[in-house]
Chain A
Amino acid sequence: MEKSGTSTRLTGAVQDLTSELVSALRSGGPFRLAHGVPGADDGIALAAVRVMGADAVLPSVLHDVPPGSDDLAVFSRAVHAYPPPAGASPASAWSHWAMERALRTLDGSADTPPDGVPGRGTEPRAAWLEDASWQSLTHQLAVLAPLAVPGADSAVARVARGRPVDVARGFVRAVRRRDWLQAAGAGRWLVLLDGVPETLGLETGLAFVAQMGGDDPRVALQVEAAQLMRIGVRV
């Protein structure tokens, strides 16, 4: 099926933003979201930030560098411009929840509900994930990889912590299927989990995924995040 005009532009904007984020993670230097999103007033640019989710501020989180106020403003605009619509998928709801949490953490209002409204910011339900097969679990966790950050608890993270062997199996399956993006996302979760079988060879596996799929900036971003978390950046 032919992609719509906005879909093509959105895909390109996401790729560009992802490449900027990978560079920032690798260099350890500051990442200016407001600079990395040319024309941040453009709906497509904000939509790209929304698609990236909480990973749009990942360099600030992993390198413990406070974002600039203009960067937070761009991030906040994306959060508010694209809330999950009625009937949104759990992945969309969780992605938005993670963005709100990241926003509150970075702007120092972590103890305040979003927009000051009691009840806002409540975790979405995770029942759909608890009953998922290990294959589906791995797919969903890879989609929700922006939730995999050190010290960030959530119902999704708790499900992952309870099923490390299933995630490890999913990682191997993704590698064997050459689904590098899923493998990279699953690998990022595995870095944070206890009880991962040592026979998995996670470090080597991540290097392999980077070698095979690293041309895709989305894969590179997940692998870079995993490797930074593995060596204990910030934590």
Chain B
Amino acid sequence: MSSTEFLSAELTEVTVDVEAALDPTEADGSYRDSRECAALALQAATGTLLLSPPTPRPKKG
């Protein structure tokens, strides 16, 4: 492969990578762990709780 062909191939590869980076698929979701819950608790202490869990309802009967 000549140096020109090599550079052309690399440019093509970079272009593909750029396009992939510009249009990512949505990341898989994951859910709360204890670290996140601790952070929520800290924010709750300052009265700025975000995404608080629902208030438990009293049991009937």
Are A204 and B43 touching (Cβ within 8 A)? yes
Task: Scan residues 1-52 of chain B and give those whose CB is less than 8 A from a CB of chain A.
Answer: 10-11, 13-15, 17-24, 26-27, 29-32, 36, 39-40, 43, 48-51
Are A143 and B23 touching (Cβ within 8 A)? yes
CA distance A44 to B15 in the complex (A): 10
CA distance A198 to B11 in the complex (A): 47
Please, how many residues of chain B have a CB less than 8 angstroms from a CB on the other chain? 27
Among B13, B23, B49, point to the contact of A91 (Cβ < 8 A).
Answer: B23
Are A43 and B31 touching (Cβ within 8 A)? no
Are B11 and A43 touching (Cβ within 8 A)? yes
Task: Tell me what chain B mostly uses at the interface: helix, strand, loop, or mixed.
Answer: helix
Are B24 and A47 touching (Cβ within 8 A)? no
Please, how many residues of chain A have a CB less than 8 angstroms from a CB on the other chain? 37
| 12 sample A-B contacts, Cβ–Cβ < 8 Å, listed by A number | A4-B13, A4-B17, A7-B20, A10-B14, A51-B18, A51-B22, A82-B18, A84-B19, A95-B22, A177-B30, A178-B29, A212-B39
